[in-house]
Structure 1
Amino acid sequence: MTATELPEREQEQETRGRRSWLREHSELGVCVLLLALGALVLTDALTMDVEITQRGPVGPKTVPVVVGIGLLVVAVLLAVDVLRGGRGEAEGGEDVDLSEPADWRTVLLLAGVFLATAVLIEPLGFPIAGALLFWGSAYALGSRHLDRDPLIAAVLSVVTYEVFNNLLGVPLPGGPLMGVL
């Protein structure tokens, strides 16, 4: 063995050691995500421009600040647990085959349906965009009842619109059906 081969082997072993450590502590990625999300929520909440006239001790900044602090606390506690050797339990369900690859077609179809709903909710209104969301989600998840699913989606969307708009007082865009419903 030459003098140059020894440092190369040591460096290779060190790289393998780092990869192994990162693989064993992969939950730290979740901690980083929670930490970033908590910082974003807190920053947004604390820079929120609200009027000073507030009634009572709880204002519009209270819930976002509590959620942001909660996210930061959970991130730190999870990081401490992971660094102390804690590991999340591997998912094991009777209907989940962990040896199968992810179904990216379904994921992409659902993402497309959600994106289309976000784009179409203003011009078409919630009843139509919601019906497309419900029917598209059912289709993406495997339902192929093309005669029944659109009808169920339309009824579900109109009922949801009526409950939120009229009973709960949460205004949703009505679109062209505003006068009909």
Structure 2
Amino acid sequence: MTTRTELPEDRESTAGGRRSWLREHSELGVCALLLALGVLVLTDALTMNVDITQRGPVGPKTVPIVVGAGLLVIAALLAVDVLRGGRGEAEGGEDVDLSEPADWRTVLLLSGIFLGAAALIEPAGFPVAGALLFWGAAFALGSRRVDRDPLIAAVLSLLTYVVFDKLLGVPLPGGPLMGVL
């Protein structure tokens, strides 16, 4: 009886086979993410400190438990589908050219505008920070109408402030306009 010695080529093909299998089943990474998120949501929901007395059949733990359980079910169903050979389809948007590189200038502009608005919301108030956010986003996405965009941004920001702060009762920082509105 002869025994075969493992050759370096065998190890490479095994490692290559493992990499190939992982590449073909890369959607399992999404399953792992959904599983971790579901466990996190369920853990937080089940350890939530809640007053014992509740007014109806649905308490504050119900929605997080349903969402966490849903995430676990979706993770399991997706894992079964992937292991049975299911594959996600590549993005085929009609106006997206997937061969072109990402537009990092726009991404960085939008990120900077968002961070700037977040920094300004407390000292300047939501109407001012929101107007700069809307105007900046329009500029970053290609609009160059300097006669129209600031006006639309200001109206949209003020309208959003009034709806949330005054009509819905969600307090937003008003900044210098606090006493006016």
TM range (shorter): 0.7 to 0.9
Measured against aligned partners, the alpha-carbon deviations of 1:58-108 in whole angstroms (never above 9, x if no partner) come to 122221221111111111111111111111111112101011112222222
- The amino acid of 1:20's aligned partner reads S
Aligned residues: 178
Measure how far apart 1:12 and its partner are: 1.1
Residue 13 (1) aligns with residue 19 (2): no
CA distance in 2: counterparts of 1:48 and 1:116, whole angstroms:
34
Runs of 4+ in 1 over 3 A off after TM superposition: none
Task: Confirm whether residue 122 of structure 1 aligns to residue 105 of structure 2.
Answer: no
Question: Percent same amino acid among aligned pairs?
Answer: 80
Q: Could you say which residue in structure 2 is the equivalent of 1:138?
A: 138
Q: Which runs of 5+ in 2 are unaligned?
A: none
- The structural deviation recorded for 1:118 is 2.9
1:125–1:52 distance in 2 versus 1, CA, 3 Å: farther
Gaps of 5+ in 1: none
1:76 corresponds to which letter in structure 2? A
Query: CA distance change for structure 1 residues 115 and 71 in 2, over 3 Å: closer, same or farther?
Result: farther
Amino acid of the structure 1 residue aligned with 2:110: L
TM-score by length of 1: 0.88
Query: What code does the residue aligned with 2:171 have?
Result: P
Superposed displacement of residue 116, structure 1: 2.7
Using the TM superposition, give the Cα deviation of residue 170 of structure 1 relative to its aligned residue in structure 2, in angstroms: 2.1
Partner of 1:24: 24
Deviates more, 1:44-53 or 1:30-39: 44-53
Letter in 2 for 1:160: T
Q: 1:121 to 1:59 in 2, by over 3 A?
A: farther
Query: Match of 2:43, SS?
Result: helix
1:52 alignment partner in structure 2: 52
